[in-house]
Amino acid sequence: MSTSTITSVETGLPIRVTPVDEVSLEARASSLATRSIKTTSKRAALNLSIRCIDLTTLEGADTPEKVASLCQKAKRPDPANVDVPQVAAVCVYPEMVEHAVEATKGSGVKVASVAGAFPSGLSTLDARTADIADAVRRGADEIDIVLNRSAFLAGDEKRAFEEIVASKEACGEVHLKVILEVGELGSYDKIRQASMLAMAAGADFIKTSTGKISQASSLPRMLCMAEAVRDFTYHTNIPVGIKAAGGIRTAKQAWHYLVVIAETLGTDWLNPERFRIGASSLLNDVLLQLKHLDSGYYSGPDYVTVD
Amino acid sequence: MTGNIPITKTYKLFIDGAFPRSESGRTFSVVNPQGELIANASQASRKDLREAVRAARSAQNTWASRTAYNRGQILYRVAEMIESRKAEFLDLLKSGGVNSRTATREVEESIQRWVWYAGWSDKYSQIIGSVNPVSGPYFNFTVPEPTGVVGIIPPSEPSMLGLVSRLVPAIVSGNTAVVISEGHSSLTAITIAEVLATSDVPSGVVNILTGDQTDLLPWIIGHLDVNAVDISGINQDVDLTILEEASSNVKRLVSRKVDEESLELISDFLEMKTVWHPIGR
């Protein structure tokens, strides 16, 4: 792929989108995954992982009660231990936003809503922006939308770009996360290009995956996006956040992502304002690791809630 | 090409159907009674134990939900596989100092015992379970269920019969197992793992670690996700206060003699569930 340029909405300046060296990207990602975290730093890493979690339930079978219990868990992940921090946000469908807002009121846990014909993004733009505006009206603090992969892959980057701009407008002051669905993009070059496009169009966060396809987040893809964020921030001075989602189930995987972020973007990104992990089962695994640190015994799934 | 260079086997661990080395990288030497080196085996660490328990836990539900008949068939198959590798087991036992006649008897008895327990798979619940008379319009019955993940510390002598006698009654009912073998008996244990890997036993149902039983004992006793531990192989000069830990997480401890072969050994690792069901239309 040759170098292309893209123009940032906020600065009006063109940014070069350079091609990705696939081999060294994957080599670097796998070398970062071998980095071990020593016992003394483990607790900090585990607590940080929890603080960055967007506790997610995106199923057709979601009910207000299920969302309420998810919110309880978000506010107090380990009922037996007050030292365990709360998660960053809960992530739900627009229909569930009001219930989540009610259940998290006053706790500091944010409510994120997917919107805009999640997970395909293939309804009309008007319907999508109305969906976003509706979720905002219901009280969502953050909106997760999907990139229009159909337009992007068909070569109509302009349309994909303008749709994000329109979505951003519909959001108003509310934080916008743009899901690239990296598993559908086909190459690292496309991931980098899509990342730049989303950031230039005004995304506050770029996010790997909807979690609805099997080819979701992976460490090299995350690294590819983190490098795009680094380069975009270098050119524009706008710090864009990054969110990993899909297939992150163990504390160890979460550490790998933390390492990739710290090594690529620096420690300024190691906080929930700039880094999130979208997950549901990850939280239990992190809690089990914390229990192990506290008690010295290996714990098991019988000792955490069934979600 | 003149003369063959013997290719000696590397004995590794058996976790989740695969044969990894210990994550610690440690090994130990296995020697014969004359003190000569026979093989190097992997010395499992507590992290290997953790992985083995994780594998056993994730395999447990599916193993238990197989039909009893199917579990029995799979275990018969294992016995057939051991039968076809008899010579290898004989050589192994002899290398540990067992004489030829005793070794033959041990291998044959191990196979017989394996088949004997396999046969119980679709029969024990009728014998152990019950229909109970109650004063009310209810059917009341008690059915056995597997306890879950069982840690097994088998006796090192006799190595093959010791392992078979403790392992099969645990897994026949749908439990999954993490075995910790020590010394020369590790070779027999890993060879049984090779049999399991090439039979139809699903990955994770049996996991075999080799190394130092005393070293790993506190970790398996303290592990909250292990439901029962068979300590038949622990010799009495171990600090037995370690075993008190088992009470803090309500873990069942079992100890049996090698020559025991009975239905009770299956019920060692069962929980009894009583169900009340209203009578009526």
pLDDT (tens digit per residue) in A212-226: 888 788 999 999 999
Q: Note whether B230 and B109 are within 8 A (CB).
A: no
ipTM of the complex: 0.79
Which pLDDT belongs to residue B139? 94
Domain locations in chain A? 4-296
CA pair distance A149, A121, nearest whole angstrom: 8
Q: Which residue, A72, A109, A68, is CA-closest to A88? A: A109
Q: How confident is the model at residue A59 (pLDDT cuts 50, 70, 90)?
A: very high
Residue found under tokens 């171990």: B238
> Does residue B220 surpass a pLDDT of 60?
yes
Rounded-to-integer distance, Cα B214 and Cα B142, Å: 37
**Residue A303 contacts B where some CB pair is shorter than 8 Å:** yes
% of chain A surpassing 70 pLDDT: 99
Average pLDDT, chain B: 94
**Does B223 sit within 8 Å of A298, measured CB to CB?**
yes
Averaged pLDDT for residues A13-34: 92
Percent of the residues in chain B that have a pLDDT greater than 70, as a whole number: 99
- For A259, the 3-state DSSP assignment is helix
Average model confidence (pLDDT) across chain A? 93
- Annotated domain spans of chain B: 32-278
Q: Which helix (H) or strand (E) holds B178?
A: strand B176-182
State how beta strands B138-146 and B27-31 pair.
Answer: unpaired
Instruction: Return d(Cα B68, Cα A132) in angstroms, integer.
Output: 53
What is the rounded CA–CA span in Å between residue B211 and residue B172?
Answer: 25
Please state which CATH number belongs to domain B32-278: 3.40.605.10
CB pairs under 8 A between A and B: 26
Our CA-based measurement puts residue B19 at a distance from the nearest CA of chain A, in whole angstroms, of: 21
Look at residue A253 in the predicted model and tell me its pLDDT.
Answer: 93
Q: For residue B186, what are the CA distances in angstroms to A125, A207, B183? A: 66, 49, 6
pLDDT digits (tens, 9 = 90+) for A121-153: 999 999 999 999 999 999 999 999 999 999 999
Q: How far is A296 from chain B (nearest CA, A)?
A: 9
DSSP B15: B
Strand A205-207 to A175-179 pairing: parallel
How many contiguous H segments (helices) and E segments (strands) does chain B have? 10, 10
At A63, list the tokens.
Answer: 């009910």
Active site residue A75: no
Instruction: Identify the H or E element spanning B126.
Output: helix B124-128
Cis amide bond preceding A77, omega within 30:
no
Look up residue B5 and give its DSSP letter. P
- SS3 of A159-186: the string is HHHHHHHHHHHHHCCCEEEEECCHHHCC
Taking an 8 Å cut-off on Cβ atoms, the answer to whether A297 and B53 are in contact is no
Nearest CA in chain B to A302: B225
Place of tokens 């090994």: B27
Residue B87 clears pLDDT 70, i.e. is over it: yes
Strand partners, B274: B142
pTM of structure: 0.87
Nearest residue in A to B245, CA atom = A297
B161-206 pLDDT, tens digit per residue, is 999 999 999 999 999 999 999 999 999 999 999 999 999 999 999 9
- The answer to whether A144 is a known catalytic residue is yes
Confidence of residue A113 (pLDDT cuts 50, 70, 90): very high
Concatenated DSSP letters for B31-68?
Answer: E-TT--EEEEEE---HHHHHHHHHHHHHHHHHHHHS-H
Average pLDDT over residues A34-53: 91
Fold of A4-296: TIM Barrel (3.20.20)
Q: Cβ contact (<8 Å) for B225 and A299? A: yes
Distance separating alpha carbons of residues B45 and B55, to the nearest angstrom: 15
d(CA A174, CA B117): 65
A103-142 burial, b for 16+ CB within 10 Å, e for fewer?
Answer: bbeeeebbbbbbbbbbbebeeebeebbebbbbbbebbbbb
Q: Do A297 and B222 touch (CB under 8 A)?
A: yes
pLDDT at A218: 92
Whether A243 sits among the annotated catalytic residues: the reply is: yes
Which residue intervals of chain A are DSSP H helices? 22-32, 39-51, 64-75, 97-104, 125-137, 149-153, 157-171, 188-200, 219-236, 251-265, 282-295
From A296, which residue of chain B is nearest by alpha-carbon distance? B222
